[in-house]
Structure 1
Amino acid sequence: MMIKKPTVIDLFCGAGGLSLGFKHAGYDVLCGVDNDEPSLDTYEYNLDCLGLNEDLYDEKNAIKDIENQINNAEVDVIIAGPPCQGFSLTGCRNLDDTRNKLYLAVVHAVEYFKPKAFLIENVPGIATLYKGKVKEQILNSFEELGYATSVTKKPLLATDYGVPQNRRRMFFVGFRKDLNYGYFKFPKPILDSENYITCAEAISDLPSLEDTLGENISNYTKKPESNYQKKMRENSELLYNHVATNHTDEVKWVISQVPEGGNHKDLPKGVGDSRKFNEAWTRYHSKKPSKTIDTGHRNHFHYKYNRVPTVRENARLQSFPDTFVFLGTKTQQNRQVGNAVPPLLAQNLAEAMKKHLVFGKKSEKIKTTIQSTLD
């Protein structure tokens, strides 16, 4: 039975959504690796662990640097969210796109450190792109390294795991075959559609900013209005990153004509013609989870107010606690939030992986005996 906290390194860590989820699940996060300095600033500030600026295109040197920086510590788990632009349905979808090959940096890191397990997160399009060739290539790469690798049969939906956002993502999880853990089973949903966390349950307590742009550090003006808000506000005395965008009067006029839950299709003829794509002029619905948070923050709007959500509101919709402070410019902060894995989704996966690391193929009797040590 594993006694010590399992150790983790996070590749393509961004601001640290995956790392935060694993940390909350009881892992010891050794370091995060990325080449975006503002994201690493946010990562180190909040995770209280090392953020390494490394170019994972140059994986051989990067892996050596990682090993030196963690003082040759044993790595139990490697987690990673390689850039998804090449795989994404909105990207160029080119199999030869170098961004599509960045998962090989994860493969080589797994080959070098030989962790007990790994996890890779990516967009849904990776499963079907080029008739499944990309997915098959990823699975084969890790199977050849001696890992029993599982992939989600369909994208996991973040709302199923307590996140107030309809975000879908694919996950690959592998465990070393020689350690006899067997194949991993992904965690079952903890919520059904009748009990999803809604936008209002996530952000209704935050100041409206109707008459002000707000400040990067401010005070709460309301008490929590839902259990989710109470959870997000634990140990937080001040409100960070809640600053409104200074829209033009014309933009606010267009937004004002979009009904709750509506989009550009609901606008009068000739209004908002500058944006006509699927997600354009989308207003959230207070009684539903949000759409997928993106990095551009220009297409989605508050369910009640005529503005885009603030960084803090989007962070709430991603399940980042209010104690998690985003650094850099507002554009950089929005990118960090949009690129992140929702911490609550990551935590559910991390907890399931932790149990698998302990139980593997062991008997139900052993499970019953030591279950309490994992709760």
Structure 2
Amino acid sequence: MKQKYSERALAVAPSMTLEITARAAELKNSGADLISFGAGEPDFDTPAAIKQAAIGAVEGGFTKYTATAGIPALRQALADKLKRDNNLEYAANQIIVTNGGKQAIYNALQAILNPGEEVILFAPYWLSYPEMIKMAGGQPVVLPTCLEEKYLPDLDKLERLITPKTKAILFNSPCNPTGAVYPEEVLRGLAELAVRHDLWVLSDEIYEKLVYNGKKHISIASLGEDIFRRTIVLNGFSKAYAMTGWRFGYAAGEKEVIAIMTRLQSHQTSNVNSITQKAALAAFSSTEFPAMYEAFDKRRQFMVNYLRSIPQVRFAEPDGAFYVLLDVREFLAKRGITAAEMAKDLLEKQFVAVVPADDFGILGHIRLSYPIDTAKIEVGLSRLKKYLLTV
């Protein structure tokens, strides 16, 4: 028999977190007192105004196909948002609404990559980036970053990675899993390199509203006309509006690339479901975010302060998103295990779910997510501390 499955599909790596996620669900369903630091989603309910808009769409019969790129009112509202919040001037026809932020990234990569072309990532990166690059026929090229530099890229090292095959730079600020927020000087350096080497920039800004410690989110596309033209801004409402299950994302860029992404989407999924689009439109009038933000920041501070009480735990205080990346190499060395094995051990012995960071492009680390109740954070961290200090 000929090879049964495509080489392209077989090249996509499975996530080692799936086994842990499935086991955590089993333990929880069996009645275990599980504390999960795994989920990358808010624990808050979707704001009432958004839910009511969805109900209104259903009851009003707004249940048919829409334009592939989204309803005009929503695309215009997104253009207004980008101008107001990010100092970016896009027309409505320069925006596409997608089935979650993942599809925005996937469509962008499919639109720009030819077979064998390279996309530079900064490790630690979001785990789906390299797999989506491979699915688009490209090759991920990884620039490691380090805790000592707060996981910001070294621009000299970055330039040395650029080859004639390099097509794009893809990054996430604020960053999952590190919580790093790229300052203006780093973004300007990235922009200068991209313009000089004629590269696309894919800027994943899904956590833009979750920035702390007086830091400021800056969209790289706002730093000049040259970088504006070669940037595709990627975003969504999952994190800021507690809409992870609604699957709402969007991308903004030059009219031609958005038209290509729209054509691709028309043959994949067509439009985002009509009800979610009406719900997303209502998000702009939602008033719940400030309270959610305050809770996230308090939880962040609590987790950071608690972790500082654990000897030999190393991490960079996160300035954005809702994650802390822990360097646990010293503890792993004492036990002779990997981060994935530690995650399984924590789950079985302490009923604490964490994410090993191997899939994020860094070994010897685990990721903790803090969008859960502070009392649960305290219980979970006390179990983690007990585990780490018991050799």
User: What TM-score do you get using the length of structure 1 for normalisation?
Assistant: 0.35
Query: Which structure has the highest helix share of the two?
Result: 2
